[in-house]
Amino acid sequence: MDFGTRVTADDAFAILDSFVAGGGVWLDTANCYTFWTDPSGVGGASERAIGAWLRARPGARDTVRIATKVRHNPLVPHVPESAEGLSARAVRAGVEGSLERLGVDHVDLLWAHAEDRTVPLEETVGAFGELAAKGVALRVGAANHAAWRVERARSLAREQGVEPFTSLQLRHSLLQPRPLTPLAEGGHRLLAAEDLDLARSEGLAVWSYSSLLWGSYARADKPLPAPYEHPGTTRVLTVLHEVADELAATPNQVVLAWLMRQGIDPIVGVSRVEQIEEALAAHGVRLSDEHLARFTEAR
């Protein structure tokens, strides 16, 4: 997310090199990253950084898959309310800009970054389907969408004879905030049981973001957000550290392994090489059914 803004180009290149060397494949970005920290007031820095890395690493495009998102990039600098939205025109223009910044002719997965209920869903579905038919996006997915909206979009795609959403991206982690507590992060939508039910019944991929809660599992200087302050958090953290000790793993690695054990693909945002190395090593952490039961009971 912060490549080209908080993370310098040199550091981004080192992280990407380490990611590929460790067997990493998917890069997830968005056309709006990160307008809130970029002096320009608009997004695109992350995609430009990845594009520069691809140009500097011949053959890298054949190694990695690229996912990006449209919906939130401001049309007026520093004015989030001017976000592009999900009209057919906005989707086409957003993807065109992304491809130019990335320096590629297609993306492997295109996300609708969030709902846009000012636009008929039929129009958005048609626009994504058109891009898939042209090979501009090999797959399409829905981030931060209600399960019923995803299923409605998939039904419309079937009616239109176009590519449906086949992936979901929502916020999820081992720790959960208090039920019905508003999140401070605007636009975030938590993974719910109905999302997993839909995904499992329809064979959809599930990606989770904010999976490591901004370092709160491992760093004393990163306290958990207020919605996570409840007795269940204390109990789960106790089990987390017990399991990490038993498996000679870090708490972050156990959290990532817990997500993967459920068939969820966790997205990790990193700013240093050692962080991506730690995350990739989570593939070697094996949680048993007994471990999973202990986490469930702690909640």
Q: Given this model, what pLDDT does residue 20 score?
A: 98
Yes or no: say if 115 and 146 are a contact pair by the CB < 8 Å rule: yes
Residue-level pLDDT at 184:
85
pLDDT at 95: 98
Comparing CA positions, the residue from 205, 136, 133, 200 lying closest to residue 168 is 205
Do 131 and 123 form a contact (C-beta atoms < 8 A)? no
Q: What is the pLDDT of residue 167?
A: 98
Structure tokens at 244: 């990490």
Quick one: 202 exposed, middle or buried, by C-beta within 10 A (0-12, 13-18, 19+)?
middle
Looking at the DSSP bridge assignments, the partners of residue 142 are 112, 168
Closest to 30 measured CA to CA, from 83, 82, 72, 86? 72
pLDDT tens, residue by residue, 238-278: 999 999 999 999 999 999 999 999 999 999 999 999 999 99
**pLDDT on residue 22:** 97
**What pLDDT, in 10s, does the model give residues 131-140?**
999 999 999 9
Give the tokens for residue 48.
Answer: 């430009």
- pLDDT of 104 reads 98
Q: Write down the residue that tokens 């106790």 correspond to.
A: 238
Can you tell me whether residue 142 is helix, strand or coil?
strand
Question: What are the helix (H) ranges across 45-107?
Answer: 45-56, 88-102
* Residue 55 and residue 103 in contact, taking contact as beta carbons nearer than 8 Å: yes
Residue with tokens 């730690």: 278
Residue 115 pLDDT: 98
pLDDT score of 181:
87
Question: Percentage of residues in the chain with pLDDT exceeding 90?
Answer: 96
* CA 187 to the chain's CA centroid: 13
Q: What's the pLDDT tens digit per position in 202-232?
A: 999 999 999 999 999 999 899 999 999 999 9
**CB neighbour class for 235 (10 Å; exposed up to 12, middle 13-18, buried from 19):** middle
**What is the maximum span of the chain, computed from C-alpha positions, in angstroms?**
53
Q: What is the 3-state secondary structure (H, E, C) of 162-216?
A: CCCEEEEEEECCCCCCCCCCCCCCCCCCECCHHHHHHHHHHCCEEEEECCCHHHC
**pLDDT score of 14:** 98
Angle ∠(175,142,170) on CA atoms, nearest 5 = 5
Residues of the chain with pLDDT under 70: none
Amino acid at 221: D
Structure confidence at residue 180 (pLDDT): 86
Pick the CATH number of 9-171 from 3.30.420.40, 3.20.20.100, 3.40.50.300, 1.25.40.10: 3.20.20.100
